[in-house]
């Protein structure tokens, strides 16, 4: 259930709106701007690339995907190995490798609030430098940890031009190094309810959760 637990993190971090002056006195104003961005957006979508590696094993695991969000409570996460869909009533998790679908009617599809997310962390932000991600010049901002999600050593790369998060790295609960690259972020694109519907593929095992 790793991807489900991290979906909230993806959706929150992908919409952080940061002012160019990342000083301690600016944090409250930054959080308020983030909240306004979220409240003024009816939907958004983004692409991501994930890479996961370990200090103990030489293998690197990678995947690509897309996230769609429509307020108040619909979201989709699609990647190469699985899909997670919440249509406002039912949560569907499609495991493509095992040919299984987990169905849950008890999921509370609470909207993700990036402003609230930042309020919990604003005292831990530190501006540590600048670096390019692709062709974008970015601020590097560190966050100590998110213990409730079991992750630490969090670093954000924030685009200086349009102020979106372009890259995220962290250590997970088993000390893997995880990297996400974000692009094609769009707000208020007019997503339809039909884009959050899930049709169970034929000959797939359905598990009620």
Count of C-beta atoms within a 10 Å radius of residue 200: 12
pLDDT at 113: 47
Mean pLDDT of 88-96: 92
pLDDT-based confidence at residue 140 (cuts at 50, 70, 90)? confident
CA distances from 78 to 86, 121, 162, 165 (A): 12, 28, 25, 19
The pLDDT-based confidence of 92 (bands split at 50, 70, 90) is very high
Domain that holds residue 6: 2-208
Q: Supply angle C-alpha 154, 15, 19, rounded to 5.
A: 80
Lowest-confidence range among 17-21, 121-125, 127-131? 17-21
The predicted pLDDT at position 34 comes to 58
30 has pLDDT over 60 = no
Find all residues with CB under 8 Å of 136, minimum gap 6, and list them: 159, 160, 161, 166
Number of domains the chain is built from: 1
Secondary structure (DSSP) of 151-206: EEEEEEEEETTT--EEEEEEE-TT-EEEEEEEEEEEES----GGGG---PPTT-EE
Residue-wise pLDDT tens digits, 36-52: 666 788 998 989 999 99
Could you read off the pLDDT of 149-208 as tens digits, one per residue? 677 888 888 887 777 788 989 888 788 899 999 889 888 999 999 999 999 999 999 998
Q: What is the CATH number of the domain that holds 151?
A: 2.50.20.10
Supply the pTM of this predicted model. Answer: 0.75
């Amino acid at each position: 259930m790793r991807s489900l637990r991290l979906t909230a993190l993806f959706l929150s971090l992908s919409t952080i709106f940061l002012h160019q002056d990342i000083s301690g006195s600016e944090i409250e104003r930054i959080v308020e701007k983030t909240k306004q961005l979220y409240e003024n957006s009816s939907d958004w979508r983004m692409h991501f690339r994930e890479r996961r590696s370990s200090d103990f094993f030489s293998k690197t695991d990678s995947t690509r995907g897309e996230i769609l969000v429509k307020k108040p409570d619909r979201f989709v996460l699609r990647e190469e190995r699985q899909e997670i869909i919440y249509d406002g009533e039912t949560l569907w998790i499609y495991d493509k490798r095992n040919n299984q679908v987990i169905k849950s009617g008890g999921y509370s599809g609470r909207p993700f609030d990036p402003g609230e997310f930042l309020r919990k962390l604003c005292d831990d932000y530190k501006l540590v430098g600048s670096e390019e991600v692709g062709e974008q010049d970015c601020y590097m901002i560190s966050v100590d940890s998110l213990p409730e999600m079991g992750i630490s050593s969090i670093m954000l790369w924030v685009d200086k031009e349009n102020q979106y998060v372009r890259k995220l790295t962290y250590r997970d609960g088993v000390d893997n190094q995880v990297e996400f690259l974000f692009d094609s972020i769009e707000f208020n694109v007019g997503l339809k309810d039909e884009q959050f519907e899930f049709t169970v593929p034929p000959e797939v095992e359905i598990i009620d959760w």
